[in-house]
Structure 1
Amino acid sequence: MAVRFSDGGGESLAPVLPLFPRAVRPSGEEPGRPGSGSTAWHEEECHPDAHAAPVTPAWPAWNAVSDEETPVPAAERIDAAEQLLLKRLRGRQLSVEEARSLLMERELDADEAEGIVGDFERRGYLDDARLADQLVHGALSRKAQGARAIAQALTARGISREVVDAVMADLPDDEAERALEFARQKVRAMRSLERDAALRRLHGQLARRGFGGPVAMTAARTALDEAGIGASGPRFR
């Protein structure tokens, strides 16, 4: 683009200089530095970032993710395990072995777990003998279970053999009566069966309740006789 101007003798064009000229480095001049006595050099070399290497931002140290987790102090682990055990005991009585297993799941070592178990036993929170008595009472009063089933239930809860043997020795000597009472309840649904089929089914039910062979067979036959199944005489309706 040019600007026209007049000096009285005619018009002529005046060159328009660019505002930001592209300087040319003189021949032989060292790149990136102005020549002696000259202030002209390439404009891109004037820019401070023209040839700078890319800079990777430095993240604060607190933002770094560590591969190692900070270990929980032993006192905090033990306190949390105790609170968990207390919570479980409020809902259900546990045996010593059940409590020990629960604590080991909390990443406690053997000594820490045994320390808590021993403390809870001294305070009366864990008592295998008391738990065994409760289980036996429920088995006799509500579940009509035989001695064999009761012993298996106690063992399944982790109660020691010594405690199981002591509790079983104190069982009342009324297993035959309990077996007969159970058989009388079940025989009512067997009136349409033949005697042998009813006897096999009733004996199997008694055996699964933990009543021993002779006791179960005697109770089954007595209940079938009383119901008149496969025998002469009136049947109970």
Structure 2
Amino acid sequence: MVRFESDGGVPEDAEGIAPVIPLFGGRRSAPAPEPTRGAGAGTATVEPVRGDVAQWRSTWDAGLDPVLAEETDEERADRVAAAERVLLKKLRARQLSVAEARAAAVERELLPDEVETLLASFERLGYLDDARLAEQLIHAGTQRKGQGQRAIAQTLSSRGIPRDVAEEALAEQPDDEAERALEFARTKARQLESVDQETAMRRLMGQLSRRGYAGSVAASAARTALAESRTGGGVRFR
């Protein structure tokens, strides 16, 4: 089984945020309200910044606004505090990966070192945790969506989860993909009573494939589910 942290394994998009501790201050930085839960459904996904930190730093530096080099310490503190508040607001609505949080922070025109300091502080406080997010996404994929490992791996990649973290989280899964595929196929086989065997097999395999099950797993699950349905008197193949 996928292991969850001691916080109880909060499902995807319902991640709680610890009490807000202002990291950089700033004269306009106000205390943040208590976090809300379950508000992720209407939140747009932030496209993760791809590549390593050095790569995006060099890209950012090429377009550095000279005004930032002349700002006062107070102005800098206010700018960083504003970025902190924006990121905390996003985290209250939806758990983010470090890559997604970096993309959101970069949009606030922070210096590269300021971005990394902010992210490191959020990780230390537990606001960002790629391993925990990976476990939640795997749980959602297997238990709620009936997905295969291939689809789940694609979800982890699209959310910016580092490859080594994703592979470790996937390795902790039980070897039950065939059982999950069969369970899903059984629920769909009952809807194919009016079609012939070849059409039913093709449709069922297509549904399994779209949920990320490998071809051999999908074929075996589809054959078994359709055979069981036929034997039980539900499907009459022509």
Q: How does 1:147-158 map to 2 (within 5 A)?
A: 147-158=149-160
Query: Unmatched 5+ residue regions in structure 2?
Result: 1-66
| 2:78 corresponding residue in structure 1 | 76
Larger strand share, 1 or 2: 1
1:218 counterpart = 2:216: no
Q: Distance in 1 between matches of 2:148 and 2:193?
A: 25
- Identify if the C-alpha distance between structure 1 residues 85 and 234 changes in structure 2 by more than 3 Å, giving closer, same or farther: closer
State the Cα deviation string for residues 112-167 of structure 1 (Å, max 9, x = none): 11110011111111000000011111111111110111111011000000100101
> Which of the residues 116, 119, 125 maps onto 1:117?
119
Q: How does 1:66-145 map to 2 (within 5 A)?
A: 73-145=75-147
1:217 alignment partner AA: A
Q: Distance in 1 between matches of 2:111 and 2:184?
A: 47
Q: Distance in 2 between matches of 1:140 and 1:147?
A: 8
> Which of the residues 177, 180, 187 maps onto 1:178?
180
Q: How does 1:18-33 map to 2 (within 5 A)?
A: none
State the Cα deviation string for residues 19-55 of structure 1 (Å, max 9, x = none): xxxxxxxxxxxxxxxxxxxxxxxxxxxxxxxxxxxxx
1:188 alignment partner AA: R
Query: Unmatched 5+ residue regions in structure 1?
Result: 1-67
TM normalised by structure 2 equals 0.66
Between Structure 1 and Structure 2, how many residues are aligned?
166
Q: Distance in 2 between matches of 1:235 and 1:71?
A: 77
Q: Distance in 1 between matches of 2:112 and 2:187?
A: 49
Shift of 1:82: 0.6
Shift of 1:71: 5.8
| 2:207 corresponding residue in structure 1 | 205
1:236 counterpart = 2:238: no
TM normalised by structure 1 equals 0.67
Q: Distance in 2 between matches of 1:207 and 1:234?
A: 25
Q: Between Structure 1 and Structure 2, whose CA radius of gyration is higher? A: 1
> Which of the residues 147, 164, 167 maps onto 1:165?
167
Larger helix share, 1 or 2: 2
Q: Distance in 1 between matches of 2:232 and 2:136?
A: 42
Shift of 1:108: 1.1
State the Cα deviation string for residues 95-125 of structure 1 (Å, max 9, x = none): 0000000001111121111110011111111
Q: Distance in 1 between matches of 2:151 and 2:187?
A: 19
2:84 alignment partner AA: E
Q: Distance in 2 between matches of 1:208 and 1:110?
A: 39
Aligned-pair identity in percent equals: 55
Higher mean alpha-carbon deviation, 199-208 vs 107-116, is at 107-116
In the TM superposition, structure 1's runs of 4+ consecutive aligned residues that sit over 3 Å from their partners are 68-72
| Kept in 1: contact 2:190–2:234 (CA 8 A) | no
| 1:146 corresponding residue in structure 2 | 148
| 1:8 corresponding residue in structure 2 | none
